Structure 1
Amino acid sequence: MHEHESYGLWVLVILNSAIFIFFAFSFTKPKTQRDWRSLGAFSAFIVALFTEMYGFPLTIYFLSGWLAEKYPGVDFLAHENGHLLHTLFGFEGNAHFDPLHIASNVLIVLGFFLLASAWSVLHKAQQAGTLAASGWYARMRHPQYVAFILIMFGFLLQWPTLPTVLMFPVLVVVYMRLAEREEQAALQEFGDIYRQYMDSTPAWIPSWKAMSFKNI
């Protein structure tokens, strides 16, 4: 392995990180401490991802011995070979067009679409002082956190790194705990109405039979 111009591109690290964090910020418009924690956790994942994608390939250096032995003819310091799953699963051709990368793009787009749609409903409910229970909130109770998880998992499919692979399950737990705290606050504010909502609406996996709450 040798030094390669594919890395050390810190301007791209900053630019890409800023773009995706700005998108998330614009869709969520954090106000509460929980909102900022949610965005902060996502931002840490994004910075770690793009640092390895364009800055310093820590994962490739850490696994260099094994990679060189297993794939002796592959230059993993070339950017296109940083898509490790492309090589590990034996795909050929341009990594940007393999099934994993296509699935990754779909998940990322769906995640941002879900994030934007969920925030629109949540923002209107917050303005009116009511419970968000329409749109995606009629299908699952935590669409905003599901959106962040979809986006992060999508990025893992196209560019897995040791830090982000380790961070992903930790961040899922963080989002689950944030969701639990939000539900406790909602129970205090809305009481039996929120209990009815919890009984009828799944937390994380969407129900395609949307519920309607006339008393909210």
Structure 2
Amino acid sequence: MSNIQAYGLWPLVIINSLIFIVFALSFTQPKISRDWRSLGGFAAFIVALFTEMYGFPLTIYLLSGWLTDRYPGLDIYSHNSGHLWSDLLGTTGDPHFSLIHIFSYILILGGLYLLSSSWSVLYKAQKSQELATSGPYAYVRHPQYVAFVLVMIGFLIQWPTILTLIMFPILVWVYKKLARREERDTLVEFGEEYSRYMAKIPGFIPHFG
């Protein structure tokens, strides 16, 4: 695949970015500034990702010298070469069907499912002015943030870039900070009921067994 075919596909950048951002928007339905910040960080990550995937391969460009020296037969500006894990591990065949790619899909789809199922529970709880404790909320206190992180990890495995690797830990820190602020607000609203829930249910990593 030539450089022209692989990149500069800006309509694909826009379409793919909108698909994920609109999906996240439809299930988070931000109302306050905290909600918009969590969605905005995710949206920025998605736009940066697809910009390099279909628009301009900044990471490949910056690593071009090293990649050319280490893999002299590699067409670094083909789309398949953008799958850096396949390049680095020396796997053959279409990278879209590799175990790494399949695992990334599992994380991405799992994160999107968790996001949608979390919103369903939260929406019903908010309508009845109750605390959300069922479904994903029976395992972690902040399943929507966990969902965003799972999707980002999936994309980092599938298509790692310098910019998204820098953004990821920053966004995780932001989500943790937003979650703590959310907990303080919920404590004001539900008091002892939420205190008992916090003591029983972990924030981000579920207890199994």
Counting aligned pairs with the same residue, the percent is: 60
What is the rounded CA distance, in whole Å, between the counterparts of 1:127 and 1:31 in structure 2? 14
What is the rounded CA distance, in whole Å, between the counterparts of 2:91 and 2:172 in structure 1? 29
- Aligned-pair CA distance for 1:207: 3.1
What is the rounded CA distance, in whole Å, between the counterparts of 2:96 and 2:3 in structure 1? 23
Give ranges in structure 2 of 5+ residues lacking alignment. none
- Aligned-pair CA distance for 1:173: 0.5
Q: Classify the secondary structure of the residue corresponding to 2:198.
A: helix
Q: TM-score, normalised by structure 2?
A: 0.96
Q: Classify the secondary structure of the residue corresponding to 1:5.
A: helix
> In the alignment, residue 120 of structure 2 is paired with which amino acid?
S
> In the alignment, residue 58 of structure 1 is paired with which amino acid?
L
In structure 1, the partner of 2:120 is 120
In structure 1, the partner of 2:203 is 203
In structure 2, the partner of 1:27 is 27
Matched ranges for 1:100-115 at <5 A: 100-115=100-115
1:59 partnered with 2:94: no
- Aligned-pair CA distance for 1:67: 0.7
In structure 1, the partner of 2:175 is 175
> In the alignment, residue 162 of structure 1 is paired with which amino acid?
I
- Aligned-pair CA distance for 1:157: 0.7
Q: Classify the secondary structure of the residue corresponding to 1:4.
A: helix
> In the alignment, residue 129 of structure 1 is paired with which amino acid?
Q
1:194 partnered with 2:194: yes
- Aligned-pair CA distance for 1:3: 4.2
Q: Classify the secondary structure of the residue corresponding to 2:5.
A: coil
In structure 2, the partner of 1:141 is 141
Deviation track 1:157-201 (CA, whole Å, cap 9, x = no partner) reads 110000001101110101000100000101111111111001000
Q: Which runs of 4+ in 1 moved over 3 A?
A: none
Deviation track 1:112-156 (CA, whole Å, cap 9, x = no partner) reads 000000001111111111111111101110100000000010011
- Aligned-pair CA distance for 1:5: 2.2
What is the rounded CA distance, in whole Å, between the counterparts of 2:11 and 2:4 in structure 1? 16
In structure 2, the partner of 1:91 is 91
In structure 2, the partner of 1:165 is 165
> In the alignment, residue 4 of structure 2 is paired with which amino acid?
H
What is the rounded CA distance, in whole Å, between the counterparts of 1:134 and 1:32 in structure 2? 24
What is the rounded CA distance, in whole Å, between the counterparts of 1:139 and 1:208 in structure 2? 9
In structure 2, the partner of 1:213 is none
What is the rounded CA distance, in whole Å, between the counterparts of 1:114 and 1:159 in structure 2? 22
What is the rounded CA distance, in whole Å, between the counterparts of 2:4 and 2:70 in structure 1? 20
Deviation track 1:74-125 (CA, whole Å, cap 9, x = no partner) reads 0110001110111112211110111110000000110000000000111111
What is the rounded CA distance, in whole Å, between the counterparts of 1:24 and 1:207 in structure 2? 26
What is the rounded CA distance, in whole Å, between the counterparts of 2:3 and 2:83 in structure 1? 18
What is the rounded CA distance, in whole Å, between the counterparts of 2:60 and 2:147 in structure 1? 29
The alignment yields a C-alpha RMSD, in angstroms, of 1.2
In structure 2, the partner of 1:39 is 39
